[in-house]
Chains A and B, each alone.
Chain A
Amino acid sequence: CGRPAPRPVVPEDALLSAQQRREARLDAAAHWSLEGRVAVRNGEDGGSGQLVWRRRDDAQELTLRAPVSGQGWRLETDPGGALIEGLEGGPLRGPDADRLLRDAVGWDVPLALLARWVRGQRGSPSAEVEFDAEGRPAVLRDGGWRIEYRGWDTSVDPVLPRRIEAESGDRRVRLLVRSWQLDDAP
């Protein structure tokens, strides 16, 4: 559905090394948070709402709020496991965040990879990347997903995505980031 990224003038390896530098800087900035809106689809199921995603090293908290009443949920994960609160029937725990999220709210999303994609970072070493005219990632292919970057927030350094669309089969995540916070980007 996206038009092919224009051929960048800069040679591929220079683009890749710039990408690696960007990714390394972001890895060093392990405290970040974003605020925006997300729409998730998982086959026929899905939902949308206001999302606040806060990450501290390898612990994170995602809070989804629906409009009006704010009915939603909060997922907290750390290496020890995951907890989701705010749902009918009370808090739920599980060792694996992805499975808990899928079973509790029907979102089938690879959170660890998504946490990298949302910052324009490749997730797994086998990821492929296409660059746009400014040398920023335009499309990533990673972990069976196709991720498209449709806008960047240039008010932060390094620049971070503003609109992200990730798709894999009948699963899809559309994220519109309203604000980024990088606590200690080197």
Chain B
Amino acid sequence: APPAAVQRFADGLETLDGRFEQRAFDANGQLREQSEGRVALAAPRQFRWDYEDPYPQTIVADGTRVWVYDPELEQASVRMQAHEEQSSPLAALIDPAELERQFEVTEEGERDGLTWVRLVPRKTEDAQITEARLAFAEGELRAMYLLDSLQQRSELRFSGWKRNTGLDAKLFRFIPPEGVDVVGDPGTDAEVMPLGDPAG
């Protein structure tokens, strides 16, 4: 079973809405970018990242497709949201069984007031993330550190989580604005996994 901290956080979680700050480091450990914005999730596998600063960027997973929209570049890319491909462990977190299926989960114990949990993807060959570490306090996810296969690190800090606030379903739908160029593979509806049944 998933560690107590994960279980406590994910118990009864239907939707989640909060703020994030992200620091991205390159393979030499140099800070490449600091950004912030809003993140929202809805069971079983919808999520939305709205980067606000230093530039706007929106990522929406509607349960079928993942959209990445860059307003300044006026381009949106779309791809099928493959079952096992989660853009980050945060999305898998909303379903602990799913988390266990995708990651080897180990408790790393307490440090500076935070309970740390380490995630290593089970299917390593096609996982771009090689390791993720989650930090919990008082039953809340406070941080998520990601290491990718290029040795680049991403540190995300979360705040102001609001749980089960009945988010508007439109939040997890993306309609490309007028004049925006859409690229990528929207796939066919035949490949759609109905949202109703828990995936897998």
Name A's B-contacting residues (CB within 8 A). 35, 37-39, 41, 44-48, 50, 52, 63, 65-74, 85-86, 88-90, 172, 174, 176, 178
Contacts and interface: CB of A to CB of B under 8 A. Distances in A.
- Interface size class on chain B is 35 or more
Interface in B28-63: 32-33, 49, 51, 54-55, 57, 59
Contacts of B152: 65, 70, 72
B183 A85 contact: no
B26 A46 contact: no
B146 A70 contact: yes
Contacts of B49: 67-68
A156 B75 CA distance: 28
A35 B24 CA distance: 13
B148 interface: yes
A39 B75 contact: yes
B4 to A, nearest CB: 26
16 contacts: A38-B73, A41-B75, A44-B183, A46-B184, A47-B77, A47-B184, A50-B33, A68-B59, A69-B87, A69-B148, A72-B152, A74-B150, A85-B149, A172-B181, A174-B73, A176-B72
Given A37-B55, A69-B146, A70-B152, A46 B183 contact: yes
B36 to A, nearest CB: 12
Contacts of A72: 128, 148, 150, 152
Contacts of B102: none
B128 A88 contact: yes
B185 A44 contact: yes
Nearest to B25: A70
B154 A68 contact: yes
A164 to B, nearest CB: 11
Contacts of A35: 32
Interface string B9-33: 0000000000000101011000011
Given A37-B72, A37-B73, A71 B129 contact: yes
B88 interface: yes
Nearest to B69: A48
